[in-house]
């Protein structure tokens, strides 16, 4: 039996955060969520929901004085390629996320939090190791010499070092996870902040049979995508382990973006064609390397991309249909 804890999920209104709240509640913990907004597609299951701006120090003090055993830190200013790689949001991304992390890690120490998990990203990996779409290098030690391809990645790398320095200097127990493109139902699927799987599912769901969907870039750029349930499972295993990290949590099933689009088309049963257009792309190749995950946690994801895409397409298609029928 798991000993019930008081757990705070920062970013608990977001995609990964709201799923983590559900998981922790199912295990019997007392769970609070803190975020600017409530979950978009579900009622929160949190015992307490602090709706407020984590960039604000007074808000953070109000939240942290409630006394928490553990904190999961998912809160960030982020989105998909259409948000991260245009350059137009760089200042906000760096300022907002850094401020949130500075506030949270300081209060973890000040208010006696026992353990904090920081959610970093595969975006910290150097662009020079991700030029070959067929052979990207994304093992944990390859993060240095540092050269992320976006300011989002630079802030994530800074904050990894921030949390680890607080562990060294103040004894705060820390876990650092590097996520690789998490997707699934009840995530952002329109508006510019959605990631590739959701974008492809939306475009296919919206397209008339016999039509065309647009894909940014040459379509030969590769990625791997991890279904949300496995993300949550891996994250819980890391938090309960004695391993600090950083550790990749992602899939090793790499796919070209054109092939991802074709998978969504196949799932839909429609007859559609692809049109590659200019657009933000990011690095040419990225894939999780799970050697450390297997070694330290004795676990790795097992669900296929196709399985996750089928569930995601069904959900997004329902969203599209409900909007179109209004």
- Residues classed as catalytic: 152
Q: At what angle do helices 196-206 and 257-268 cross, to 10 degrees?
A: 40
3-state secondary structure of 166: helix
Q: How many CB atoms lie within 10 A of CB 58?
A: 9
Q: How far apart are CA 87 and CA 230, in angstroms?
A: 31
Query: DSSP letter string over 75-101?
Result: --S--SHHHHSSSTTHHHHHHHHHHHH
Distance between CA atoms of residues 41 and 306, nearest Å? 23
Contact 214, 275 (CB under 8 A): yes
* Nearest residue to 124 via CA among 157, 97, 163: 157
Q: In the block, which residue shows the tokens 């970013």? A: 11
Bridge partners (DSSP) of residue 173 are 115
> Distance between CA 171 and CA 114 in Å, rounded?
9
């Amino acid at each position: 039996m798991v000993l019930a804890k008081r757990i705070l999920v920062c970013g608990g209104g977001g995609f990964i955060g709201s799923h983590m709240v559900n998981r922790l509640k199912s295990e019997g913990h007392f769970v609070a969520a803190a975020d600017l907004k409530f979950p978009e597609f579900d009622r929160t299951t949190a015992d307490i929901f602090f709706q407020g701006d984590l960039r604000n120090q007074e808000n953070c003090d109000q939240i942290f004085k409630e006394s928490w055993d553990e904190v999961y830190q998912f809160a960030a200013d982020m989105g998909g390629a259409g948000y991260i790689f245009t350059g137009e949001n760089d200042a906000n991304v760096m300022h907002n996320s850094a401020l949130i992390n500075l506030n949270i890690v300081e209060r973890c120490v000040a208010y006696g939090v026992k353990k904090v998990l920081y959610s970093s990203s595969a975006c910290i990996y150097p662009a020079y190791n991700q030029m070959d779409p067929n052979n990207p290098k994304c093992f944990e030690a390859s993060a240095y010499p540092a050269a992320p391809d976006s300011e989002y990645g630079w802030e994530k790398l800074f904050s990894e070092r921030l949390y680890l320095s607080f562990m060294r200097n103040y004894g705060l127990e820390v876990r650092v996870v590097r996520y690789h493109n998490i997707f699934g139902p009840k995530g952002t699927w329109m508006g510019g902040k959605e990631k590739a799987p959701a974008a492809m599912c939306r475009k296919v769901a919206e397209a008339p049979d016999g039509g065309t969907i647009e894909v940014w870039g040459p379509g030969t750029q590769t990625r791997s995508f991890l279904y949300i349930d496995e993300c949550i499972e891996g994250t819980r295993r890391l938090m309960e382990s004695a391993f600090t990290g950083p550790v990749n949590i992602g899939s090793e099933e790499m796919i070209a973006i054109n092939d991802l689009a074709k998978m969504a088309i196949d799932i839909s049963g429609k007859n559609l064609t692809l049109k590659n257009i200019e657009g933000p792309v990011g690095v040419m190749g990225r894939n999780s390397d799970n050697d450390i995950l297997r070694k330290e946690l004795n676990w790795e994801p097992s669900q296929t991309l196709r399985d996750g895409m089928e569930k995601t397409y069904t959900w997004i298609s329902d969203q599209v249909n409900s909007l179109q029928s209004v």
